[in-house]
Structure 1
């Protein structure tokens, strides 16, 4: 690639006003909109519970594929956190204190602002995706000092090998239960009957550490030429999907439940794509990270081909202020739901008691689209404010 072409690529794929890589911001923005869809579902369609993995005979296709789409969010968040950590380090800044502070702030936010936003109460402390990203950053602060080959082996082992640990289980009260619940098995650290505030681990840690390590290693791709990066992204994405087709197609390894031929082609496809998220199975991560690599490549090429496209700027704006949007949309949902309860009576019975809900997943999509449009401008404003501000606390959002 000539010097002129490198300069052209840089100008097309970076926002001069923010100094950020647009394709990464667009990727974040895209999955954040999918996250919004899933959180609307959890707010107004909670009476139609989805298990993990989903029970396809009891889950209608619209709900199944909406939930499957949302599976993309957490792996992309964690992987790109690793990429961003590497790029931060390449600016000559010390990475360890950065990760320790950011990780600690994320865990604090999860335990306070984020947790309260779900139900407007503080009866149960749910430790979810923000918690696990924070823990992964704390561990990356220590692990990034290891040689890259060691990090690669460790990352691949955690992502690809943790399914072998599934038979290991501890009952509540047994020695090792707390540690194993944090590392691998989703469950309560403190049950509602044991404490005034129950504590539940929703995102077991081990495989996510592997994902952030792989993201950190992949950060080097963003120091390569455009052709090299495009090649890395394409090959990695297709390799992941080909591996998935082999492992899942033949029911060899990587998923809790084997798929089977169902009464209809659609149900068979649903069964084939029915993956475990808690903790994320190897097949789950092959699908989501493989598609992420291909999407990053496509977004980068789009940014080069037509950098002025409005949809690209919209996605990049959402992705430039991820924590702000995350907290904003949760409290917007809480406020709207609370206002709706002043007008309408609860009409659905859920595991959490009577709640107000809609009758079909199509309403979830409509509400998500309207809410995304309403929250775009404050998110865009904050992204610009964050770039201009000299207040350090703003950077955490």
Structure 2
């Protein structure tokens, strides 16, 4: 690699930006499918899905954990440029800022409800909470924080129903917020509440693990040793995934079962649990990310440069692509002859302008995805250049 990030430097770690850019491009496919696929079929339901629909969703499983994991590495790098107190304050302030972004900007882009009747707590929410937790743990070594993350990842499935079936954990507010994220609605006023889609601690564990791995990227660390360490850690994670999945006892609340068709046996084997992220989910996604990072340091292609552009401005890309998609659904809503009375369809609650009888087939979803990603390239490139050449304080938060 070229020079790593050092105090006062505007340089970035290219391999991390390449991987982050790749998962952001893939992430957009899942969101286009969510917003536009006709009928919104359940892609992971083996009784009704098709292989192409299943893998359209499954490949995007790699996005959130990789993004959270890389946020942990980036947090470690941010700490190398600040004193301990400055680092703690930076992470906590950035975490609080991201919570505001989630509640106001991301929620609006998802629901299109300017009245904010439902706040949606998704991936930005858990990244924010993870940063706050890292800020509180700033006095600990990267090794201790990384081991804490690994324990959270490995031990979280002790809360699976076959081991621990407490109602307060499964459906209670604190249980949903911190441990299970069952997608339940919790109301704080009549017709006003929030939907818990991501649980804090399991995802924070992935960020803490990334923070521990971040020590491999400190200035002066042997690059060959780093690549070998990343590769063997990733390989160990993938072997753990395959081994535990075959044993079929621990690591995921959804065991794999023999199916009537051979290809569906593969789908069942790969049908792991994202919410909350199971041990097997973390093993296959983070393990793959580690192996990718081990090979990505010497990639210097035009495609890698394009991915780096996206990966260098993740929050900008994330917010922009969601608002473009939401605007697209509103335009489609009226273009397809739907009336104002159908804006609030109870079958698609809490989303507005998204009745179940509106949408496009999967082929057009892929086309819309390609158009969206291409359309965002030049705005992302302009903003990335601006960030590299300017030093305003607020750029650290965007």
2:62 paired residue among 72, 77, 88: 72
Q: How does 1:116-131 map to 2 (within 5 A)?
A: 116-121=108-113, 122-131=116-125
Aligned length: 378
1:188 paired residue among 184, 190, 206: 184
Which shifted more, 107-116 or 253-262?
Answer: 253-262
Structure 2 residue aligned with 1:83 = 73
Q: How does 1:324-335 map to 2 (within 5 A)?
A: 324-335=316-327
1:240 aligns with 2:237: yes
Q: TM-score, normalised by structure 1?
A: 0.89
Indicate how the Cα distance of structure 1 residues 393 and 363 shifts in structure 2: closer, same or farther if over 3 A, else same.
same
After superposition, the C-alpha distances for 1:194-233 in whole angstroms (9 at most, x for unaligned) are 5332211100111112111111110111122220111011
1:216 aligns with 2:211: yes
SS state of the match for residue 199, structure 1?
A: strand
Structure 2 residue aligned with 1:142 = 136
Q: TM-score, normalised by structure 2?
A: 0.88
Indicate how the Cα distance of structure 1 residues 334 and 236 shifts in structure 2: closer, same or farther if over 3 A, else same.
same
Q: Cα distance, 1:191 vs. partner?
A: 4.1
Q: Cα distance, 1:149 vs. partner?
A: 4.6
1:25 paired residue among 11, 17, 42: 17
Structure 2 residue aligned with 1:256 = 253
Q: Is the 8 A contact 2:4 2:217 kept in 1?
A: no
Runs of at least 5 residues in structure 2 that lack an aligned partner in the other structure: none
2:194 paired residue among 193, 199, 209: 199
Indicate how the Cα distance of structure 1 residues 321 and 152 shifts in structure 2: closer, same or farther if over 3 A, else same.
closer
Structure 2 residue aligned with 1:34 = 26
Q: Cα distance, 1:91 vs. partner?
A: 2.3
Q: Cα distance, 1:36 vs. partner?
A: 0.6
After superposition, the C-alpha distances for 1:29-53 in whole angstroms (9 at most, x for unaligned) are 00001111111011012623327xx
Runs of at least 5 residues in structure 1 that lack an aligned partner in the other structure: 1-8
After superposition, the C-alpha distances for 1:19-73 in whole angstroms (9 at most, x for unaligned) are 111110111100001111111011012623327xx22121111111111111111
SS state of the match for residue 200, structure 1?
A: strand
Q: CA RMSD in A?
A: 2.5
Q: Is the 8 A contact 1:44 1:356 kept in 2?
A: no
Structure 2 residue aligned with 1:393 = 394
Structure 2 residue aligned with 1:272 = 269
Q: Is the 8 A contact 2:72 2:214 kept in 1?
A: yes
Structure 2 residue aligned with 1:4 = none
Structure 2 residue aligned with 1:5 = none
